A and B are shown apart, each in its own frame.
Chain A
Amino acid sequence: MTVYLDIVASGVLTGLVYGLMALGLSVIFGVVRVVNFAHGELTVAAMYMAWVMAGSLGVDPILTLPLIAAALFAIGYALQRHLVEPFIGRPEHEQFMLLLAVSIIVLNGLLLVFGPDARHVAVDYAYDSFELGPMLLDTVRVYAAAAAMVLALGLYLFFRFTDLGTAIRACADNLLGAQVVGLDVRRLYALTFGLGCALVGASGTLMVLMRDATPILAVQLTLLAFIVVIIGGLGSMAGALVGGVLIGVSEALAGFLLMPSLKSLFSYGLLILVLLLRPEGLMGRRA
């Protein structure tokens, strides 16, 4: 029984970080209605930033998280303002090609600068575990999951209780109404894209505690984020977190009960099941 508790706890902790990563994708799509296909590449770029700062300054990635999130916010803001903005309202396949091109450029840039080898960030608590009754919780995962929860809560409070957050929600709910009341939609879109990328930066920084940074991870992370948001419901913040936890736990249990190399297969199986039974996702709104 303890084994199963350990596995489920580990899956939940990992899933929360997955959820935070997918949250960035969900926020951008929910407001701007553009799917960021460079999501995984930007996550890996954040992982490399954390690796460089840990290596050169000796600073724990959790402490560099605000700085990296701010850098990614600036990148996201600029990306939306100068590159994505002209494509708003254009056919979806054109948006897809644009962001695919961005992803290819980022990926090859990372390969050029860092090479294809995996880079590991060593922290003092890398080998530590917390004891919780009979359970053992990996310290790295606990810290990463706690940070993910704090960020998700912060995001919720921002959207719920600030004027800016309310304005962004207004753009998402009724674009025409938002324009009629005089909201600066272009600026709000850029802020949202920046916010989504900041979440990507934060999740990448936390991810580097659990996984080695390598460019080939980018495609896997993009796919993972898509699976999470489709299962949770595209555009739903709570759905992204629920989807992340669901994937984290199901992968862990499938790996234990079936075969570890079948973990991914189980995620895709779950995705197909949700698409068949509830295409809008577990917490998505019906069109």
Chain B
Amino acid sequence: MERNLTFIALFAALIAVLGLLPKLTLGFGVPITAQSLGVMLAGTVLGAKRGFLAALLFVGLAIVGLPILAGGRNGLEAIQSPSVGFFLGFPIAAFVTGLVVERAKDMNIMIVGVIGSIIGGVVVLYILGVLGLAWKLEKTFAEALLLVTAFIPGDAVKALLAGIATQAIYKARPNAVMSRT
């Protein structure tokens, strides 16, 4: 009980801190933040349920006013802004990522970590994010998707990093990888 709670809280804090790190800029000038990497890791390490709760806790704290979204933004702002779907999609992305990792227990942890992160942290998150953009900006799904296409390669790189990091964590702290225990 206590262990579940502290892991959920510390991963929520991890998602926050990863978003506050300086932005990396991809070769073609698109800035990326590590925030969604934190969401993927919450899923791959904590599994579906706890990963969902960690991301939900992060969302809740952003809504009550902590400037923990990438770029120092807060949650009320994110809900009103065009990126609402990405923001509110974080818990679902973590859940799906965790679900994939939990379902493939006999697969190599790095490979399943990457696959889970791509399905949950990229595909599912983008579907929700683009739906939000389309709704807020009154565009079609395809038009809205076009606006964020440039960010997809960066998120694919993050999914790769999430898989590599999950394997390293599994080697050094096997008990912490709750998606496998």
Bound together: no
Chain A residues with a Cβ under 8 A of chain B: none
Seen from chain B, the residues whose Cβ lies within 8 Å of a Cβ on chain A are: none
